[in-house]
Structure 1
């Protein structure tokens, strides 16, 4: 028993060290580029998780409400589209589970109707997974929850050995945080990590007017700005940087013809920032921007394009009442 505890502690230390090293490398490579960029996945530390929960409840942030409406009011339609049967066991795997707000609506119905399944949420944030697991123990104690921290594909590769049917949830338009080429590669790799007849529920935000989209990324309370700038605070805390957050600002953009919302952190002055963990300093000019996130909006044509090289067939899509958001159902081909 003592040896098992030691091994468990060692594994956790090794995982933490690996994540720290990857974080350092990606910050370094991003800030060395021209134009500068930082990966949006690093928004999600403990403070970032809490800020994003606030964002989801903002009046301007329609995305969560739109997909939540689908999960609340079209749950049985989702279950039928996913071809689930109460007597057949399956694994419900969620990529980037977060707080599980929408998924819980589906879990409630599956539990009530006595479906046989395990829920396997995957997230890079251990804090988010711990909070989700604790919450589900309180709200849905009968649901079997097996959390998985780490990279989506590494976890899926390990899960692929199981021949049980899998339902993959990739919600919240998280696919929209990738460029079109990256999304195409992601979908191709995702299909390769699944078995024939496995299903994917892909939630995406649809292309719409600037008057609706831009406020969702630039709310009047400044929560989104705090969320974006928290990335610099995280680099300060974890890598020993000296970013002065008062000398940077949140800068969102959206072109409805292109259908892509973009978030930047803009330097307000000429300045130099030192990151101790990297042993480097980085020069910022006034007005220079760090690209932190994209949020691609989709339509049927774009969805067809990003799955063109993937081994998926597109079954159907389910819309919210305003047609702001779509949940596409795809099947992994044989």
Structure 2
């Protein structure tokens, strides 16, 4: 049994304002549902960043100051299915850059499929996967003497509260050498009419994705969540710039989790906060980078200006 999963679920459901960590969305079913989400007409994030990686990969390579004569490690945090990254890998491979690709993800299932697809589509690219929470593998970066390029895409940074994002970027900076660079993908602040449907699609895929977390707890921790007595609820206002997803109890109920030897009471209308998705602009990101030694050196946006990939460089303070 995953002891971290058990501990995190206990902590989250025991809190006054109940929460469940979004990283646990990604079991095998969750992975498949997220692939469906990325294809939804309402879900602009993946398409917008894919636009950058497909149509501006030369600008990206130039912004990263890459040279064909210098070996580097391309490390991706939270790699998922690698759809966007493979556009960059193809360009680097075709132009004979000398690099290794090291995707990291919490989902072993996703990494297995990513490695198989890279081996099939880009047999010359050396790929070495690592399963785990990317918070816990940052120290591994420090062991490398070679230049490192870190990809942190998909606005995954937006799943962290601002204070935690600041802490994460500081820790990332501490584990990089001067001159190492980061591609940080972030969703830009935009109207509610664009953002909210991305988290509440007409087909109900996002609802299934959110509710699957309860199914996973039932399966792995021997719980008795009644999936039909919870509903999916997203919230967003442009002024705040933060989208949040909740599971809401539609009735007064008690849920027992046998592996925790605990029961949890819910009142009608009580929320479980499952995900935060912060949206950014230049000022917000600058504030979050704060006094860290990661500095913005470039910024690429998609053709509709929905999404941005910031290029950060570790500089001497």
Aligned residues of 1:176 and 1:204 also touching (Cα < 8 A): yes
Distance across 2 between alignment mates of 1:264 and 1:258: 17
Whether 1:61 and 2:40 are equivalent positions in the alignment is: no
Q: Any conservation in 2 of the 1:184–1:309 contact (CA below 8 Å)?
A: no
| Unaligned ranges ≥5, structure 1 | 1-16
Q: Does 1:22 align with 2:9?
A: no
- Distance, in Å, in 2 between the alignment partners of 1:189 and 1:293 is 22
Q: Matched residue of 1:37: which SS? A: coil
| Correspondence for 1:35 among 6, 17, 40 | 17
**TM (normalized to structure 1)?**
0.94
Match for residue 179 of structure 2?
197
The structure 2 residue matched to 1:103, chosen from 85, 94, 98, is: 85
| Alignment partner, residue 9 of structure 1 | none
Correspondence 1:288 to 2:270: yes
Q: Residue 322 of structure 1 corresponds to which residue in structure 2?
A: 304
Q: What is the alpha-carbon distance in structure 1 between the residues aligned to residue 185 and residue 218 of structure 2? A: 33
* 3-state SS, counterpart of residue 145 of structure 2: coil
Distance 1:152 1:225 in 2: 26
Root-mean-square deviation over aligned CA pairs: 0.8
Give the drift of 1:165: 0.2
Matched with 2:232 is 250
For the pair 1:131 / 2:113, whether they are aligned, the reply is yes
Q: Distance in 2 between matches of 1:245 and 1:310?
A: 43
Q: How far does residue 221 in structure 1 lie from its aligned partner after superposition?
A: 0.2
Contact 1:120 1:148 in 2 (8 A): yes
Is residue 176 of structure 1 aligned with residue 158 of structure 2?
A: yes
Contact 2:44–2:198 (8 Å) recurs in 1: yes
CA distances 1:302-330 after superposition (whole Å, capped 9, x unpaired)? 00011003211110100101110000000
How many residue pairs get aligned? The number is 316
Q: Distance in 1 between matches of 2:301 and 2:10?
A: 41
Given the two structures, how large is their TM-score scaled by the length of structure 2? 0.98
Given the alignment, which residue of 165, 184, 190 partners 1:208? Answer: 190
- Partners of 2:226 and 2:177 in 1: how far apart? 48
State the shift of 1:125 in Å. Answer: 0.7
Q: Any idea what SS the aligned residue of 1:66 has?
A: helix
Runs of 4+ with >2 A deviation: 153-156
Deviations 1:36-94 (A, max 9, x none): 00100000000000000000000000000000000010000000000000111000000
d(CA) in 2 for partners of 1:246, 1:164: 52
**How is 1:65-104 mapped onto 2 (pairs within 5 angstroms)?**
65-104=47-86
The residue aligned with 2:147 is: 165
d(CA) in 2 for partners of 1:153 and 1:44? 16
Name the residue aligned to 2:169.
187
Offset at residue 137 of structure 1 (A): 1.2
Does the residue aligned with 1:34 lie in a helix, a strand or coil? coil
Write the distance in 2 (CA, Å) between the matches of 1:158 and 1:209: 39
Whether the 8 Å CA contact 2:74–2:102 is kept in 1: the answer is: yes
Contact 2:138 2:171 (C-alpha < 8 Å) held by counterparts = no
Aligned counterpart, 1:115: 97
Q: Are positions 1:52 and 2:34 aligned together?
A: yes
TM-superposed deviation, 1:34: 1.3
